[in-house]
Amino acid sequence: MKTITQRELAARSKIVLDDVEAGEVYHITRNGVEIAEVRPLSTRRRFVPVEELQQRWRNAPPVSHARMREEADEFFGDEDRVGDDANAWDRRD
């Protein structure tokens, strides 16, 4: 955590915000009294290692294609749906 004055924040806002984006926290003072804290909104990472993505994929819940179809039919309706045996790209109207 760093402490800077209101005047420093105004003069160096780009540098301060770059630091905040990188994870730094600033306390802002006015007349020697802390009045605000500037911190990142989230600890979002810019890079996720492949190993972590693979582990998340392995631990993901199984997908039920039948349930997905049911939910899509509930939401969109099934009256205009192309049959499972038809070619969806074959449009002979």
Q: Sketch the domain layout of the chain as residue ranges.
A: 2-38
pLDDT confidence bin for 83, thresholds 50/70/90: low
10-62 per-position pLDDT tens digit: 999 999 999 998 889 999 999 999 999 999 887 667 788 999 999 999 999 99
> What does the alpha-carbon distance between residue 79 and residue 59 come to, in Å, rounded to a whole number?
36
- Rounded mean pLDDT, 58-71: 90
- Strand, coil or helix: what is 67? helix
**CATH of span 2-38:** 3.40.1620
What pLDDT, on the 0 to 100 scale, is given for residue 89? 67
Statement: residue 78 has pLDDT above 90: no
Alpha-helical regions (H) of the chain = 6-11, 13-21, 50-58, 65-76
What pLDDT, on the 0 to 100 scale, is given for residue 25? 94
Cβ count within 10 A of residue 28: 18
